Structure 1
């Protein structure tokens, strides 16, 4: 299916791992001009080669930390033209546990990586989209922002803020021909062993999950789980990416301000 993305500049943040990588490769297959943003330069080089192999008009990797306020301007300069698609994929959590026992010093980290990065990158890209009277922004939220993930209180709150920002921004910029939507996955894991760059929490050398939930009892771990109705616990990265690519495309030209769960029916 022709998504109308051929030759259009598409920025994807957090592009070297998991969902971001799947979205980037999917946009490349549609002939987009890819601007992939991440921190792992070796993974970025491999990603650029794959993008070109799959049909990208061109592909560029930008090594940047989105928590750096200067990063968005650097990325827009490197894009080298009007940005048609922005996928705000960067996110994650710095730890896990009960809010009553949390260290207030850690809250800002969760808020900034999930919400602050979206605000800054969007703020940088919007003027060009408004001037062009066209553009699609796709934010990656989470079902945690809809129902709350047990033992992830600040992360859940930050993702809920991303959902709210999606809706209000859609109201503001629709008059300029810019659409804003959000995809809210539940527990996504890539099936590609090469999809876990050095900066990814899912990289086996990262040790995030074993550290974050160290000492958590079986009862609390059970409370963290949600049942799906499709016979498997999580989506693949490609399943999430397919919706993000559709929302970024001309095929979704009358869709804006929406938050779409990709959750296997877990919210039922």
Structure 2
């Protein structure tokens, strides 16, 4: 399928790991110009090289933490070297902690909200004026199935991803008149087996210990409640199984689609 993405300028946040990395490489294979945003400069340099080898018409890495309100300006400055931004993929997300809400630390609530929702607001707010002026653009947000069903022991993360979904819908209503489309995907558990997909800033990096620490505190009863099954022969998705939908939604082949949230869950929500 021809997606007409050659020479399009696509900004991908959280680009150096997992879903973001797969999306970046797929844009590169389509001949897009990619602006890769992440915190791990070593992983960023590798990704620029990989995108160039894959066929990107241009690739630049921006070492930026989008939790910093000043970082979107730096991203826009880097993007200007490649051209006007056609596509924004808001991919940054993660959970700072896990456990029951009653036991949660209020000092950590805003961290979960900011990494999952605040980053979306910041980057979108920075990119939108240019898209509106040009009467063209596509935004794809990465939400989560947690926003649809509420992931057990991830209350604030689930709520923040729910905000991403709601924002996707209302923004599509606001900017459709300006030729800008806004959609989202809602991934189920997505884990890469490629060591290159684990940047130092990723919660999936083995050194983070986030998942091992959480697993040690889960009782069997809680594990049973959290358990879901897929119907595609494997328990987890790969990043490449998410990136295809992101590219489609960003492309002209999806020009009549806006304000939608697409679960990619292997049937886990059935």
Asked whether the two chains share a fold, i.e. TM above 0.5, the reply is: yes
State the 1:167 CA deviation. Answer: 0.1
| 1:97 and 1:213 in contact (8 A); partners too | no
Match of 1:176 in 2: 178
Match of 1:57 in 2: 57
Q: 1:130-186, CA deviations, whole angstroms, 9 ceiling, x for partnerless residues?
A: 011000000000000000000000000000000000000000000000000000001
Match of 1:265 in 2: 267
Distance 1:206 1:105 in 2: 20
Q: 1:212-244, CA deviations, whole angstroms, 9 ceiling, x for partnerless residues?
A: 343221221222121112221111100100100
Task: Give the aligned length.
Answer: 268
Alignment of structure 1 residues 67-78 onto 2, 5 Å: 67-78=67-78
Distance 1:69 1:9 in 2: 22
Distance 2:164 2:201 in 1: 22
Q: Which runs of 4+ in 1 moved over 4 A?
A: none
| 1:191 and 1:237 in contact (8 A); partners too | no
Match of 2:232 in 1: 230
Residue 208 of structure 2 aligns to a residue whose secondary structure is coil
Match of 1:47 in 2: 47
Match of 1:8 in 2: 8
Gaps of 5+ in 1: none
TM-score with structure 1 length normalisation? 0.98
Distance 1:221 1:62 in 2: 39
Distance 2:233 2:29 in 1: 30
User: CA-atom RMSD, angstroms?
Assistant: 0.9
Match of 1:123 in 2: 125
Distance 1:127 1:26 in 2: 26
State the 1:193 CA deviation. Answer: 2.2
2:133 is the alignment partner of 1:138: no
Match of 1:252 in 2: 254
Residue 216 of structure 2 aligns to a residue whose secondary structure is coil
Residue 95 of structure 2 aligns to a residue whose secondary structure is coil
| 1:96 and 1:213 in contact (8 A); partners too | no
Alignment of structure 1 residues 18-29 onto 2, 5 Å: 18-29=18-29
Which deviates more, 199-208 or 54-63? Answer: 199-208
Gaps of 5+ in 2: none
Distance 1:162 1:60 in 2: 27
| 1:173 and 1:179 in contact (8 A); partners too | yes
TM-score with structure 2 length normalisation? 0.97
